[in-house]
Amino acid sequence: MSVLPHFRMRKISLKAGIRALFIIWVNSSIGVLYASEEAADWLMKINDAAAHLSFAGDFVYVHDDQVEAMTVVRRVQDGAMQERLYALNGEAREVVRDMDRVWCYIPDKNVGVHDYRQTSESGFPRILAADIDDLRQNYLFELGGRLRVADRMTTQVKVLPRDNYRYGYHLWADEESGLLLRSDLIDAAGDSVEQYLFVNIEIGREIADSELESVTSKDQLVWYGMDRPNLTTDVNQGQWQVIDLPAGYRLTKHILRMTPMDMEEEEHMVFTDGLSSVSIFVKKAKQGQSTVIGLSKMGAVHAYRNNIENHWVTVMGEVPAETVQHLAKQISFRQ
């Protein structure tokens, strides 16, 4: 028996194997792509639901080993949003807001605060201001499993960062409405740094005016507040610039404002990759003034402060420590 037929058989089987592997790879790639597209679709559903649905429910907010329980009532009517957020444990603090204004009730301090909002498009629990394609540069989208949350079926969407300059998001969207019922902010180690989830919720029902009224009467509090909208000055080219941004981040806001407590000029820059955001505050240091230098952490928020050219530079955002440290090193005074 010659060796040739045996070799041919092996060659044929090798070809078949490669072909089979290729088919498997193509199928799995198509599957991954399909799952990624479906995950992106879910993100858009979440975004859309947050903008258009009325709902009322209780949720828990978990951070820094603390668990806070709250009620939220939200009404969207004729494109206008009204919302009341109310603490269920401890003091009966609450926030009532609409598209333009916000009222904060702090009954345990006998204080109320009302003000105009700086960004009326701010929403709860709205995500995704940027295009999905832009987000793909910095995140991978995956479809997770199904999970029952607040007695409703949800689908999990994983938004995984491509590098360590941003957190990941594990989101659970209501299968019927698309509303976000659970959200976990995930660090590089895979640990949850901040989480909220609904324990009960009614979606799409009519919200009565009385449900949007505060428990505490306004007359019971001493009120602080403004009688006109806030003003800031946009700057095209500030005195400060960031030379090298982390991948995917872009400058979206650069304003000049006065610091509220000491009325000093401050530059404020906001950078975002579409999901994660970082602010940089720059303020001139005063004679004899001192402060904390270095890194601080509050839940998912990291802040890094440095003194550059006799200015206090504070970088802050719900991003990993690496991001704020990187930006703190890259900011410089424009000559």
Partner 1 sequence: MGDRYQLIDMIMKNTVSELIDQRVAPHDLADFIDQVAKDHRALGKWRNYHLIGDVIRGEVTSTGNCMMGRVQQALEAEPTVLAPIAEPVTNNIEVVRPSNIEALKSAGMFAVAASIVLMAVLTLSPGAPMAERDGSEIARNTVNRAPEVATTNLTEPGQQQAFETEFGQMLVEHGEFTAASGLNGLIAYAKLVSNENLE
* Identity of the residue, 143 or 180, whose beta carbon is nearer to partner 1 in the bound complex: 180
10 Å Cβ neighbour count for 170?
A: 18
CB nearer to partner 1: give 13 or 289: 289
Residue number, 37 or 265, with CB nearest to partner 1 = 265
Nearer to partner 1, 9 or 248 (CB): 248
Q: What is the distance between the alpha carbons of residues 310 and 333, in angstroms, rounded to a whole number?
A: 10
Min CB(142)–partner 1 separation in Å: 18
Q: Taking the complex as a whole, how short is the minimal distance between the CB of residue 29 and partner 1, in angstroms?
A: 25
29/230 with CB nearer partner 1: 230
Cβ of residue 151: shortest distance to partner 1, in angstroms? Answer: 20
Least Cβ distance, residue 227 to partner 1 (angstroms): 7
Q: Least distance to partner 1 from the beta carbon of 165, Å?
A: 7
